[in-house]
Structure 1
Amino acid sequence: MSNLPFWIVDVFAETKYAGNQLAVFTNAGDLSTAEMQQIAKEINFSETTFIRSSELRDGGYDVRIFTPATELPFAGHPTLGTAFVLQQSIIQQPVDQLILNLQVGQIPVTLNYRDRVPNMLRMRQNSPIFGENLAAEQVAPALGLAVDAIDSRFPIQEVSTGVPFVIVPLKTLTALQQIKVDVDRLLALVEPLQAKMVFVFCPETRNPANHFSARMFAYAVGIPEDPATGSANGCFAGYLVQHRYLGTAAIDVRVEQGYEIGRPSLLLLQAQAVNDGIEVLVGGQVVKIAQGQFV
């Protein structure tokens, strides 16, 4: 595992040291699964990615994604951050789109530039799949909230665009900020579910330019709280359309996340109902922080 080049970037960040941290290893073809897991645990970010080859396969680049505890078939901020690094370190010229080959399939990412550096990236996620509904009485105690903090007009529901999340609607920003997770209850809640991660949102924001505030908890996969979760926000975008939360079959919204853990993040969501499901786009900015080598 010697002389492995890597980048560190902040994803869904408008400035350095915000958003969600990501380490990207750019020449990881010789690493075993166990070695990649060891490195992800050492880095200890919510996710670390490994570009397996600089050569295209079926038009895309093979990439694997790991949390400190496990491999993921898909994740949002690793997709955008890895696309940024691929363009800057391997392709090294402007391209309008590139494709990542992930376990969930091929995920296209579009890129817009400023001074030849991507300043906005958007990924098209798989059409969301809607699963089981949960009762507020099940969920509220795990979040340390009263049952009436949950907005009963909309369901608590499992949703997946590749990785499933429990989507929980709250009424107010105050309730979102007051969440105190009971870890044992949260783990017991998700144990029988396909979804092991919980995404909580409300329609009140700190910044009046934004539309929603959110938090995401994933103790079951080694992430107590995530500062910016692209995969969960893709599920959320589908949820907003599916349940006509805003009264429309198409949405274009800004979501703030990460404030409670000192990593303010901004995610741009677009979604619309189409004949065969819901089309979902999740976008944001990526900021380069560092380059180096594992020795």
Structure 2
Amino acid sequence: MVTARPFAQVDVFSSTPFLGNPVAVVLDGEGLDDEAMQRVARWTNLSETTFVLPATTTTADYRVRIWTPGGELPFAGHPTLGTAHAWLEHGGTPHDDDVVVQECAAGLVEVRRGDVLSFAAPPTRRDGELDEALLTRVTGALGIGRAAVLAHQWVDNGPGWAVLQVATAQEVLDLEPDLTTIGDAMVGVIGAYPPGSEHAYEMRTFAPGVGVAEDPVCGSMNASVGQWLARTGQMSGRWRVSQGRRVGRAGDITVAVDEDGAVSVGGATTTLLHGTALV
């Protein structure tokens, strides 16, 4: 039976409308099974579509399930911010006025309310360097030599991310990957802008294995990479990351490390479409 459900499409990580990363939010996902959710996510054809459900714990304000066109994710960044934004705008009232607590398959995630929403980076499930076989496959797919990679690391906080660090932001922007050879790898590439630039880094993320060739702006990757950069002493305090230029977007992500070493990721959220979804 088809039901009219409240729906919003939220632009995340850009203050300029239609230049961030959109997430589709079905604000009442009760009664929908996995097949129905996957069907909707394939139809929206966005990097992620979310479904809001009642929390299963009194600690959380709501539960969310996050789907790509190719499957479900335990956690993702821009859907976390976009869903919290839509839930609040739809009349959701958090237990704590300053923090929304989201329940997802990866656990509980705090979303702090301020000038912009920001989520507390969840712990990584896997870290350490990539093995040489995977690194060879990834560099081949990206069309770069092994010598161009300054560092590499598993930064998996749910989706399965790994990251390669190259010397400059321009090298990131110049990538012309052949994603047919990358397999199911979920890979980001980051490179630095010159000191004094508006942004500290340029980021690109590729996830063809879940139906997203290039994610326009990726909060989960920036969260776990932020943890890595802070842990290795490369960054501290607060910095901004640019993402999406090669796919016509203007993503602007703020990564912050507090005095206890905890990392948060924030950015603009704006509802650009709202109404009902017949699901």
TM-score (norm 2): 0.90
Alignment-derived partner of residue 293 in structure 1: 276
After superposition, where does 1:178-189 map in structure 2 within 5 Å? Answer: 178-187=174-183
Alignment-derived partner of residue 19 in structure 2: 18
- Determine the C-alpha separation between the residues in 1 that align with 2:21 and 2:246: 13
**Offset, 1:204:** 1.6
Alignment-derived partner of residue 170 in structure 2: 174
Q: Is the 8 A contact 1:22 1:45 kept in 2?
A: yes
Q: 1:89-133 deviations in whole A, cap 9, x for unaligned?
A: 032699311111100111010112xxxxxx400111223341342
CA RMSD of aligned residues (A): 2.3
Alignment-derived partner of residue 141 in structure 2: 142
Give the AA of the match of 1:236: V
Alignment-derived partner of residue 258 in structure 1: 244
Which residue among 173, 182, 192 is the counterpart of 1:203? 192
Give the AA of the match of 2:254: L
Q: Is the 8 A contact 1:210 1:254 kept in 2?
A: yes
Q: Is the 8 A contact 2:55 2:61 kept in 1?
A: no
Give the AA of the match of 1:288: T
- Determine the C-alpha separation between the residues in 1 that align with 2:202 and 2:84: 26
After superposition, where does 1:14-163 map in structure 2 within 5 Å? Answer: 14-53=15-54, 57-91=58-92, 95-112=97-114, 119-128=115-124, 129-135=126-132, 137-151=136-150, 155-163=151-159
Give the AA of the match of 2:174: Q
- Determine the C-alpha separation between the residues in 1 that align with 2:24 and 2:7: 7
Q: 1:59-108 deviations in whole A, cap 9, x for unaligned?
A: 33111100011000000000001111111103269931111110011101
**Offset, 1:12:** 0.7
Residues 1:165 and 2:161 are matched in the alignment: yes
- Determine the C-alpha separation between the residues in 2 that align with 1:55 and 1:271: 30
Aligned length: 273
Residues 1:220 and 2:220 are matched in the alignment: no
Runs of 4+ in 1 over 6 A off after TM superposition: none
Residues 1:267 and 2:268 are matched in the alignment: no
- Determine the C-alpha separation between the residues in 1 that align with 2:144 and 2:129: 21
**Offset, 1:4:** 1.8
- Determine the C-alpha separation between the residues in 2 that align with 1:233 and 1:282: 7
Q: 1:206-244 deviations in whole A, cap 9, x for unaligned?
A: x92111100000001100001111100011101102222
TM-score (norm 1): 0.85
Gapped regions of structure 1 (runs ≥ 5):
113-118, 191-195
